[in-house]
Amino acid sequence: MTSPSHLPDAEALYSELLAGVKKLVAAPPQGTLLAGITSGGAWLAERLQRDLGLPGDAGVISSSMHRDDFAQRGLATSAQTVLPFDVNGAHVLLVDDVLYTGRTLRAVINELFDYGRPASVRLAVLVDRGGRELPIEATVCAARVTLADDQLLELARDDAGRLSFVLESKKA
């Protein structure tokens, strides 16, 4: 198990993610477009877009409208989808901070298809914590960690843009 004192170094993992995504966007098909999943994935996609020197802005995509637990969670007002590119025929790389059950990704893929039909959809994540409930796998993954089912691993960003992880207990 990963304890709070042994949380992964998010900045070091970002370097791994950057290297993996750089290889991915350089390989065919060319013209991969980035879309980060709110909020941690959006931070990562924005930074990857800048660090890779990709033109334009990375997209931001929300899972809130397609979640299977929408009735319990409701709509997050800060998490709205903004895709500054045409999805139809695009090669889209979804970026997220932590991959766990796969349910957020399922909702995000539904949201993406509301905007059009991409040629391909791939996934890059900072951390895969296992525990999949759906058959979803990342093409690029900086690290794998093991946590107890009652723990949440969340990406945080300070005012200077520096990334870190926060470990919390799930609310009952």
Each residue's pLDDT tens digit, 40-89: 999 999 999 999 999 999 999 999 888 776 555 555 555 789 999 999 99
Q: Which pTM value belongs to this model?
A: 0.91
3-state secondary structure of 158: coil
3-state DSSP assignment of residue 163: strand
Three-state DSSP string of 67-125? CCCHHHHCCCCCCCCECCCCCCCCEEEEEEEEECCCHHHHHHHHHHHHCCCCCEEEEEE
In 3D, which of 79, 130, 134 has the Cα closest to residue 103?
A: 134
Which one of 3.40.50.2020, 1.10.10.10, 3.40.50.620, 3.10.310.30 gives the CATH number of domain 4-69+78-169? 3.40.50.2020
pLDDT band at 30, cuts 50/70/90?
confident
